[in-house]
Each structure stands twice: as structure tokens, then as C-alpha cells.
Amino acid sequence: MKKIGVMTTGGDCSGLNTVIQRLYRGATLRGWEFIGILDGTDGLCENPPRIIKFKNDTLPIEAARLAGSFLHNGRADALNFETAAKAGKIERFNKQIRKALLELKLDAIILIGGNGSLSLAWCNKEIYTGLQLVCIPKTIDMDIPLTDRTIGFNTAVQQLTSFCDQLMLTARSHHRWFVTQTMGRDCGQLALNAGIAIGATAILIPEIKFDVDALIKHIKNAPTDYGIILVSEGISLRGHSGKPADMISRKLTAAGIVNRTAYPEHTQRVGDTTAADRILATRMADCALRAIENNETYVMTAINDCKCETVSLKDFFDSGSVTADPNIPDIKTPDAYVSPDDPLLQIATDMGIYIGESK
Ligand code: F6P
């Protein structure tokens, strides 16, 4: 009988509970013992490690659709790879994790995390020697290379779409514009997808240069006198500082365009998990359990060409555009961005959306 542990690390998103519940169910069907580690690496480092043993009613099926992580993701200042690295205590931290994993007698650990967590797991791979490490990618930013989808992205697009759908109604009543700032770090996928869903007038993303005068002209020539300008949090405007939506809003005001700003913030990370995210979570949980059965290790589940399969963490780490992560000294994370030939860019332009000066 195998004993497997699961933990959620990094920022939360919708779909985490679905993966956990499906993992539990699949593990139980195989006759495996299943434990949850609370607060990610923080819980693992405590003496004794903070864990829960799952039973059938621990995470009921009807609760599996809820956002957040039933296992928690850890406080921002808690002991994790990031804070340990910053404090120069990574060696001691690694030792603690290794000790906990051995103490728990785990055969496999499933780490549900984003770019940073997966990169750190790969860079500190000795910790997992002798047990299997299987990762499941989650993030609303959809910036993880080697997978076409990440858990939480679809629900975030839905949340943002619903938020903007409501704004559009008040925008119309008052003949004015809403400059709405999305999350996504330096990846524009969230803004691009939601922008197309709502029929935004403009979508500004970090990957594509834009021109403020062209944006103003586009808004003034738009067929409506109201609408949404979706601005990804990762954009910048030379010579300006502050929140991107505020910067754009000021420019529009100066050009006589009546507007307001809106910040959906963390509402993008919550909301009932969409059916698409639940199905993705179920497929990834199934893939992770099969990987454990097949004795795979240092792998990540991924969706490519509609197939769910594992890719090696090494390939993940060696791919994408590698950038230094300001939060994690000495570590680089591979990032995926909106590619210049993403078909959605041309579609947006053809729909009359100002997307920047891409062509
Ligand atoms: O990476 C996920 C994400 O939601 C980003 O889109 C956003 O910039 C960041 O996390 C917000 O982090 P925090 O929850 O620490 O404010």
C-alpha cells in the first residue's frame, strides 16, 4: 500500500479543492493512504508536521467546487522556499522538509503549485530523493510553460467576465468608460481572454506595445460612448508610476474621455469553480495518480493538444523565457507569455478591439 501526501503552495485559485477531492477519491480506490499537508511547506516544517488524514467526509463532493484551498496555502510571511531563500536559510529549511517527508514515510508527494513552487521544487530536488514528486500546475496567470492550461485560469476568466458584464451596464447608463485592471503578473492571458469574452473596447497587455494616442483615437471613434478598457497589471507607461489602470485613466481624462477605474483584485481568484476547471482538475488528478502508479518522479501534469500527460520538471525548467524572480533570490523561473502569433490577437483586432501596436 502506498502512502501519498498532497499540499497546495503559492497563491490560491479556484479548482484546488476539486483536485484534492479527486486525488483523495482516486487514491482511496487504489487502496492508498492519503494525507493532506496543511499550509504547504510551512506545515511540513513544524514538529510534528501539520497534516490531516482524509476520510470520506473530510472534503465532501459538494464542497469540492469551492474556491480557496481546504489545505490552506500558507501565510505570505510563513516559512516557505521564498522566505527561507530571502533570509538565507534555505539549507536549514531543506533539511527540515527532508526530515518531515521521511518522518511521514511518504511514498509520493503531490505538489499543487505555480511557477515559483515548481521551479523551487526542481532546484531543490534532493529533498525528494527516494520518494516520488508529482506536480500539478495551477495559476490564474496561465504563465506556466509546457501546458496549454493551468487549473484556476478558466474560473478567473469567468469571474473577470462577470465583473465586467455588470460594469458594462452602469457604463452604458452614464455614457462613460471603465478602465479595469486585471491580475496576471507579467502575462496577458487573463486580460486577453476576458477582454474577448466581454467585447472590450481595448485590451492592454504586457507583451504588446501600445500607443496612448492611438488608444484615445480608438475610443473616440468607437461605435459606443461607453465600454471597458481592460488593462493587465503588468503593463507600464514610460515616465509614469502607480497602478496601470490609474495611469491610463489619467490619460483618458486629460483627453476629455469620461471614465472611472475598477479593480476586481482577488475576486478573480475565487468564485465557484467552472465546469471546465473541474474537468481539468479531475483529469490532472487522474494523470498524477497514474504517474505515481507508473513510478514516475520529478514530473508535472500537463494538457497538450487536448491530451493530459506528464512532462518532466527538467523540461519545464529548461523551457519558456527564464526570468529572475524578484521574490526569490538566486532562482529563475521559466515563464510563458502571450505569443505574438496567438490567434486571439488577430481575432481581437478583427473584432474592433484595440490591442496595441502588434502588427
Ligand atoms: O500569481 C497569481 C496572482 O494572483 C497574480 O495574478 C497577482 O499579481 C498576485 O498573485 C497577487 O498576489 P497576492 O495574493 O500576494 O496579493
The Å distance, Cα 115 to ligand 1 centre, comes to 12
Kindly report, residue by residue over 247-274, the tens digit of the pLDDT: 999 999 999 999 999 999 999 999 999 9
141 is catalytic: yes
Contact 118, 135 (CB under 8 A): yes
Residue 358: predicted pLDDT: 66
- pLDDT at position 329 is 65
Average model confidence (pLDDT) for the chain? 95
Residue 80 is predicted with a pLDDT of: 80
Percent of residues, the chain, with pLDDT higher than 90: 87
How far, in whole angstroms, is CA 73 from its chain's centroid? 13
Higher pLDDT residue, 358 or 158? 158
**Band of the pLDDT at 14, cuts 50, 70, 90?**
very high
Ligand 1 centroid–CA 266 distance in Å is: 8
Q: What is the DSSP string of 312-328?
A: EHHHHHHSSEEEE-TTS
Pocket probe mutation, ligand 1, options 141, 143, 187, max atoms within 8 Å of Cβ = 141
Query: Strands, DSSP E only, in 3-140?
Result: 3-8, 33-37, 51-53, 108-113, 132-137
pLDDT per residue as tens digits for the range 172-213:
999 999 999 999 999 999 999 999 999 999 999 999 999 999
* Predicted confidence band of residue 84 (pLDDT cuts 50, 70, 90): confident
Structure confidence at residue 82 (pLDDT) = 79
- In the predicted model, is pLDDT for residue 359 greater than 60? no
Q: Can you give the pLDDT at residue 76?
A: 77
Q: From the candidates 39, 141, 186, 325, which is the catalytic residue?
A: 141
The secondary structure element, H or E, covering residue 309 is strand 307-312
How far apart CA 277 and CA 283 sit, in angstroms, is 10
Residue 65 has pLDDT above 70, yes or no: yes
- The angle that helices 212-220 and 244-254 make with each other, rounded to 10 degrees, is 60
Residue 195 Cα to ligand 1 midpoint, Å, equals 19
- 184 close to ligand 1 (CB < 6 Angstrom): yes
